[in-house]
Amino acid sequence: MKSALWIVIVLCALTTTGRADVPTQNLAALAKGVNFISVFTDTPLPRIDADLKLIKSVGLRHIRIFVNPEWALQSSLADTNRLDQVVNLAVARGLSVILCMESPDYPLNDNATSVDVNLWQEAWISLARRYSQMSPSTMFFELANEPVMAAGRWNAVQDELRSRVRHRAPKNTILMTGNHSATAGSLHDLSPSDDGNVVYTFHLYQPMAFTHQGADWDDRYISIKDLKYPPKGANIAAVTQEAPGAAAQLALYQQSGSALLEAELASAKRWADAHNVHLSVTEYGVYRSAPPVSRAAWFSEARRGIESAGFGWTVWEYDGGFGIKPDLVGCTSVTDALDVATSRDQYHCIRR
């Protein structure tokens, strides 16, 4: 009887994704961080270093950086370059780094050719080889940002990318995501890898009518202004009157806006629990045009929900349209919502 029970235990262990294989210190590094998108700009390095100092001093533990596959393959990669400089500054400040690949010219979508996929594979080989000697709790590899590809093909493409990285970086944690713009729902079409040292990711922006109000790149939300959170009938009616073209989005917001965020988190947690894996929200945020009190309320609810589910998080973003830098410097209610700004540094507030 005991031998039979032991066989069952061994079989379960062999068929279960290795959640325990992700080192504790790596999960701690992924617990809270911020997207840092000024790496490949003309921002002077001293300014970047000052920003990294602020990020570290408020208690954040990592930054997430986008890397274009074409850049990763450029001939000058062997030399000291901008990415090396920023990575080294971050590590010197005590921050970990997620390198996430993204390409507007060669996106991983249904139109991607075998040549496009091969470009990504070669780029990841180059990056993994370059940074795999760093401490595994310092350097993380996120295979793609918001792919849009049929689930079956994406599972195969992503696993091949993972294999290429793992061969060159045997100890680093790899981040993998779902096929439809990294939504929580797309996780359910994802086949978890047998690789135990993997954390899975999704992005959290629900309800979109609120988080993306005023976004000038999206016709669905550009006309929405002064929309509050949680949803309030009188406010929605007033906003609809000023933005009749967004009536459908606002009607959905009134009907289910208060439940969408919780539903996304619940969906992701069901998938993670079913497959015994770790999850991290590598993007969540609110466009700065949202009413400040409501923006802080959403951040508070989202951050608490993410942490209650046991997920790590990376807020979108540090310095940009969604940026939290003005909140860190100006000591707004968002700092309390994110549970940061505990430092006594001169640049930001003292927690009372």
- pLDDT by residue, tens only, the chain of 352 residues: 444 444 333 334 333 444 548 999 999 999 999 999 988 888 999 999 999 999 999 999 999 999 999 988 885 555 558 999 999 999 999 999 999 999 999 999 999 999 999 999 999 999 999 999 999 999 999 999 999 999 999 999 999 999 999 999 999 999 999 999 999 999 999 999 999 999 999 999 999 999 999 999 999 999 999 999 999 999 999 999 999 999 999 999 999 998 999 999 999 999 999 999 999 999 999 999 999 999 999 999 999 999 999 999 999 999 999 999 999 998 899 999 999 965 445 444 554 3
CA distance 121 to 170: 16
Q: Residue 156: which CATH number?
A: 3.20.20.80
Q: Residue 73 in contact with residue 115, Cβ under 8 Å?
A: no
Q: Is residue 351 part of a domain?
A: no
Q: Is residue 5 part of a domain?
A: no
CA dihedral sign, ordered 205, 211, 215, 218: positive
Can you give the pLDDT at residue 71?
A: 87
Q: Is residue 222 part of a domain?
A: no
Residue 26's nearest CA partner among 190, 216, 184, 197 is 197
Q: Is residue 86 part of a domain?
A: yes
Place of tokens 């262990």: 13
Torsions phi, psi of 298, nearest 5?
Answer: -65, -45
State the pTM of this model: 0.92
Exposure of 311 in the CB half-sphere (CA atoms within 13 A): 31
Give me the domain span that covers residue 74. 21-216+261-337
Total number of domains in the chain: 1
Residue 122's nearest CA partner among 104, 106, 139, 138 is 106
CA distance 217 to 215: 6
Q: What torsion, rounded to 10 degrees, do the Cα atoms 33, 35, 39, 45 define?
A: -40
Q: Is residue 55 part of a domain?
A: yes
214: left (phi over 0), alpha (psi -120 to 50) or beta: left
Helix residue spans in the chain (DSSP H): 2-15, 24-29, 45-57, 69-72, 82-92, 114-131, 151-168, 208-211, 233-242, 247-275, 292-308, 325-330, 333-337
Q: Is residue 224 part of a domain?
A: no
Residue 43's nearest CA partner among 34, 52, 56 is 52
CB burial of 213-230 (b: ≥16 within 10 Å; e: otherwise) equals bbbeeeeebbebeebbbe
CA 113 to each of CA 110, 179, 181, 192: distance values in angstroms, whole numbers, following the listed order: 8, 16, 19, 24
Can you give the pLDDT at residue 349?
A: 59
Residue 35's nearest CA partner among 324, 332, 347 is 324
